[in-house]
Amino acid sequence: MSENTLPTADELREEVRSWLRDNYQPLPRNTDPWVSSPERIAWLEKVLDAGYAVPTYPTEWFGRGYPNKLAKVIAEEFAAIKAPGACQDRYNIPANTTLALGTEKLKRDLLRPFLTERSRTCLLYSEPGAGSDLASVRTTATRDGDEWVVTGQKVWTSGAKTADYALLLARTDWDVPKHKGLSLFIMPMKQPGIEVRPLVQITGESHFNEVFINDAKLPHEYLLGEEGNGWRALQVALAYERSIMGDTNRGSRNKKADSLIDLARQYGKLDDPAIRGQLAKVVAMRELNRLNNARAKSSTTPGTSTSIMSLGKLAMSKILHTEAAMKTQIIGAEALLAGSENPVADDVNFLTLNAFFTSIGGGTDQIQRNIIGERVLGLPKEPEIDRDIPFREARRS
């Protein structure tokens, strides 16, 4: 779309507001974050057909070919009335990775279901012996004609129990160095040979799973990028994941302790100079992180990644831990309580425990520091004695 055919920001804003007035009704609350209700799916279909779901995508793939500055207008109008589904080109990991790297068949088969949540997805990356060092994965995909046969084990997989598809990182060549023998796929999850076992978290939830794969199959056309180029393809998917985790944080269960300022006011601590100083620090950290994430997104185009995303993810981890410590300090001895009869304390403790998710998921804080040091600050890389030898010769724990 040429510049002279684009609407102005004001024109687009009025268009989106009018469309939302005519079409949006608040949706029933989703009780399970890994299952989409029929009402939500129907709404996402409308958003996609209107061109608001992925406005920066090409028109042939449900978009409008808009620049980021116009997509931001759409996002603002949807956010103003808390309507979901707009501007998924900023956060939908499987759809964005598929658009950037998928075959024409893969995009035809799955792009729309991914954007409407008719097909839910999970991420099959980490393994028991390959968490921080993802390049050491041993789950193996072997070519068999027009299919790939996959065997291995994955762990810490969110949403695997209900997922229809997975982004799968697998080893396709054991005779080259570890980073060069990987490929990235989209694998159907509802098939024989895949067993999902829930893992109980410290919060009492079971969002994570371990996944056992035994001769599962996927079409060759579901390879993302070129065979052996999985490490580079993975960086595209990880960049979106880190961007999401750097932008957002999960709310509490009872919604009694989400706002740090409201909690301080409720407990009469807002006039405490020490509390006010810490509050100012957290507010400043959040604003700086917002600006940094905006900078990172403005410097990338679909299908590319930037190491600056690691700054946002690491910052959000620090923010969540700092806020959790402050909330514990504000409510004092009440933090020793728990359960539904103590909703504020229950929320504070939940948020404290759940903060560790951001410190681990999408790459640990330590990994983010390595990425920032090496790729943003230009510091020397850490030694890797197994980087340039065939993976089958690498020492294994």
Q: Residue 308's pLDDT is what?
A: 76
The three-class DSSP label of residue 130 is strand
Average pLDDT of the chain to the nearest whole number: 90
Tell me the percentage of the chain whose pLDDT exceeds 70. 93
- Spatial contact of 47 and 54, defined as CB atoms under 8 Å apart: no
Domains of the chain: 3-90 (1.10.540), 121-229 (2.40.110.10), 248-376 (1.20.140.10)
Q: Residue 1's pLDDT is what?
A: 57
Q: Residue 246's pLDDT is what?
A: 58
Q: Residue 383's pLDDT is what?
A: 83
Task: Supply 100's token pair.
Answer: 């950037």
Q: Residue 4's pLDDT is what?
A: 59
The three-class DSSP label of residue 148 is strand
DSSP string computed for 18-45? HHHHHH--PPPP-S-TTS--HHHHHHHH
> Rounded CA gap, 97 and 148, in Å?
19
How does DSSP classify residue 66?
Answer: -
Please report, for the chain, how many H helices and E strands are present, in that order: 11, 8
> Rounded CA gap, 23 and 11, in Å?
18
Where does the pLDDT of residue 302 fall: very low under 50, low under 70, confident under 90, or very high at 90 and above? low
Alpha helices in the chain (DSSP H): 9-23, 38-50, 68-80, 93-101, 104-116, 230-247, 260-266, 273-298, 309-331, 343-360, 365-371
> Rounded CA gap, 352 and 294, in Å?
27
The model's pLDDT over 309-367, given as tens digits with 9 standing for 90+, comes to 788 888 889 999 999 999 999 999 999 998 889 999 999 998 998 888 888 877 788 98
Q: Residue 367's pLDDT is what?
A: 86
The model's pLDDT over 56-112, given as tens digits with 9 standing for 90+, comes to 999 999 999 999 999 999 999 999 999 999 999 988 999 999 999 999 999 999 999
Q: CA 66, 17, 294: angle at the middle one, nearest 5?
A: 45
> Rounded CA gap, 367 and 373, in Å?
10
**Burial class (CB within 10 angstroms; exposed 0-12, middle 13-18, buried 19+) of 25:** exposed
CA dihedral sign of residues 326, 327, 332, 337: negative
Q: Residue 247's pLDDT is what?
A: 62
Lowest mean pLDDT among 6-15, 156-165, 364-373: 364-373
Task: Supply 172's token pair.
Answer: 């396709």
Q: Residue 258's pLDDT is what?
A: 85
Q: What is the mean pLDDT of residues 266-286?
A: 92
The model's pLDDT over 191-249, given as tens digits with 9 standing for 90+, comes to 999 999 999 888 887 788 999 999 999 999 999 999 999 999 998 888 777 666 656 66
- Spatial contact of 93 and 302, defined as CB atoms under 8 Å apart: no
Q: Residue 48's pLDDT is what?
A: 98
287 a catalytic residue: no
> Rounded CA gap, 140 and 172, in Å?
6
Considering the candidates 77, 117, 241, 323, report the single residue annotated as catalytic: 241
Long-range CB contacts (within 8 A, 24+) of 27-36: 27/84, 32/162, 33/159, 33/207, 34/120, 34/158, 34/159, 34/161, 34/162, 34/163, 34/207, 35/120, 35/162, 36/117, 36/118, 36/120
The model's pLDDT over 173-187, given as tens digits with 9 standing for 90+, comes to 999 999 999 999 999
Q: Residue 305's pLDDT is what?
A: 59
Tell me how far the alpha carbon of residue 329 is from its chain's centroid.
30
> Rounded CA gap, 42 and 117, in Å?
10
- Spatial contact of 44 and 85, defined as CB atoms under 8 Å apart: yes
Where does the pLDDT of residue 257 fall: very low under 50, low under 70, confident under 90, or very high at 90 and above? confident
Q: Residue 248's pLDDT is what?
A: 63
How does DSSP classify residue 187?
Answer: E
> Rounded CA gap, 184 and 222, in Å?
9
Nearest to 357 by CA among 327, 323, 321, 307: 321
- Spatial contact of 56 and 68, defined as CB atoms under 8 Å apart: yes
Q: Residue 129's pLDDT is what?
A: 87
